[in-house]
Structure 1
């Protein structure tokens, strides 16, 4: 009898411990209708790069982050005589995919919003909102021809057919709104009336809208022709490029390429960058690749921020082209739910 009582007591203790652990790991979603942010990522959850440093090559000191709510891995590859880095991100809830304006970093600013025209370093915005990983946005303060809808709030609709629109819904899924095709003058992206009609029909489920483009990859395959011409984005220029991509439900990829300002790199045309995004998507998701890859503001604005060693201090660093750092108006980022 005593052994049975001891066994029963031990079983109760194990069950109580299991319930306690489960209670501790309940993850509460973040608000999806304001600029609040998650807890600070824990330094011990970052994964150091153990690969040997190669002379004359930039070294990424930390290549991952892992906790109960988010997984991030950083990779580096090369295509078209140009280096590019990409972050593979898996999250637990759509609210972890967030956006933030530069005014989040402005001291003394009581009510930061996407209506302000502030600019600052991407790593400072990332630090202000406790981002696990972040990428530059679409330079929303250039309002001419732009649509801005962030964190569930409509800011402006100045669409005039020059830019493509990435729409992220409240499930974290990507889609895009394109206009009609005009064979004589090239692609015609959404006009104000096109976006207004979409907004009126879908606003309850809209979460973020980024206005730049074009769509680079859809259903695993590049949709950009080698002769694609779009002067608004300098499509034929060899430059730095940035893209945000969806690989699957709550699974994403951030891509940033180098430019010719960095030794040994020529930069990518939009066609070459689309090819690189397709290859990176296939590397991470061999079966389906990128469901949708969307081009964001590029050139010197291209900024992938992650924590690493900077001036002998562990802090937010620019992973791509760290020697070139332009001020940004906004970022797209991923947050942890672990407090």
Structure 2
């Protein structure tokens, strides 16, 4: 045994194997190994238990939905060498703006496609959320319940707070404690903020981490009380380049949004309406929906 370890190259080989094993475990822990923390009752099921919603027969077309509580209109725009899907949404109460976890479970690497999670909630309209399960930090408050109170440590830590009246605000997690925010309706942690007080807050050099300048995007904004705009863009294809954050922010400002916030994009970007996927999800290499941790949706 002593003679075996007397050769330096053997120590190097053993160290290399241990290093590879550690790296493999970190990758598996980050991207693959599921860690279920809390099984959550379906938001749609909870709503049904709490109140009996009187819902008349909706008027539905290929790109619109209208009943006494929810009004949705979707248009497709060609701009910036990209295909952009814009949903104008008005609701009668913030309770119709909901979020849901994949498989109704809060945890690490618990994933499903946006359309799968939306269908499970009987969502009328849905988009991918902030992919909270990809990170250990970032505030997570959903449908009035706090699940994670750990702030992100990086400098880009804008969070979107939706209060109990449905109004949007963008806060810095490093400067605002979860205790001060817990009495709200939703908190989404991705960013950055795009528009605040009707002013664009990004510029031509702004980007998310190491992402490309133009990407598939998902973002949400507010025009006025209970009146929202959702934008999803295709990208990374010859037919649709994708948007920069500045272009995305400009689109929200042009539509009268006082606040707008960037959500997870790239291969995650998905818009779902009335049982169908509206956009063309892709990460630039393969087509189709990416499985994600959560969705933002409108429905009962």
TM over 0.5: yes
CA change 1:66–1:269 in 2 (3 A) is: same
Q: Distance in 1 between matches of 2:248 and 2:72?
A: 22
Alignment CA distance shift 1:220-1:120 (3 Å): same
Q: How does 1:286-301 map to 2 (within 5 A)?
A: 289-301=256-268
Q: 2:202 aligned with 1:195, yes or no?
A: no
19, 39, 45: which one pairs with 2:58?
Answer: 45
- In structure 1, distance between residues paired with 2:166 and 2:42: 17
The alignment's C-alpha RMSD in Å is 2.4
The aligned residue for residue 194 of structure 2 is 216
2:241 is paired with a residue whose SS is coil
> Could you tell me how far 1:74 is from its partner in structure 2?
0.5
CA spacing shift, 1:115–1:272, aligned 2, 3 Å: same
Displacement of 1:276 after TM fit?
2.3
Deviations 1:267-317 (A, max 9, x none): 1121222222223x2xxxxxxx1011100000010011002xxxxxxxx12
Q: Measured at CA, do residues 47 and 219 of structure 1 come closer, stay the same or move farther in structure 2, by a change above 3 Å?
A: same
Q: How does 1:144-159 map to 2 (within 5 A)?
A: 144-156=136-148, 157-159=150-152
Residue 277 of structure 2 corresponds to 318
Q: Which runs of 5+ in 1 are unaligned?
A: 1-32, 49-61, 105-112, 179-189, 282-288, 308-315
Q: C-alpha offsets along residues 58-103 of structure 1, whole Å, 9 cap, x if unaligned?
A: xxxx110011111110111122111100111111111111000011
- Helix, strand or coil at the partner of 2:107: coil
> What is the number of equivalent residue pairs in this alignment?
248
Does the 8 Å CA contact 2:59/2:67 hold for their aligned counterparts? no
| Structure 1 residue ranges (4+ consecutive) displaced by more than 6 angstroms after TM superposition | none
For residues 222 and 295 of structure 1, the distance between their equivalents in structure 2, rounded to whole angstroms, comes to 12
Q: Which residue does the alignment assign to 1:78?
A: 78
Aligned to 1:240: 216
Moved more, 138-147 or 296-305: 138-147
Decide whether aligned partners of structure 1 residues 252 and 99 sit closer, same or farther in structure 2, where only a CA change above 3 A counts: same
Q: Secondary structure at the match of 2:110?
A: coil
Which 5+ residue runs of structure 2 have no aligned equivalent?
1-39, 282-286
TM-score for both structures, normalised by structure 1: 0.67
- Measured in 1, the distance between the counterparts of 2:124 and 2:68 equals 13
> Is 2:118 the counterpart of 1:126?
yes
> How far apart in 1 are the matches of 2:67 and 2:253?
28
Match runs of 1:1-339 below 5 Å: 35-37=42-44, 45-48=58-61, 62-104=62-104, 113-115=105-107, 117-156=109-148, 157-161=150-154, 162-178=156-172, 190-191=173-174, 194-196=175-177, 199-204=178-183, 206-228=184-206, 230-232=207-209, 234=211, 236-261=212-237, 263-279=238-254, 281=255, 289-307=256-274, 316-321=275-280, 323-336=287-300
Q: How far off its partner does 1:43 sit?
A: 11
Q: 1:233 to 1:253 in 2, by over 3 A?
A: farther
Contact 1:71 1:89 in 2 (8 A): yes
Three-state SS of the structure 1 residue aligned to 2:267 is helix
Q: Deviation of residue 44 (structure 1)?
A: 6.5
Tell me which residue corresponds to 1:311: none
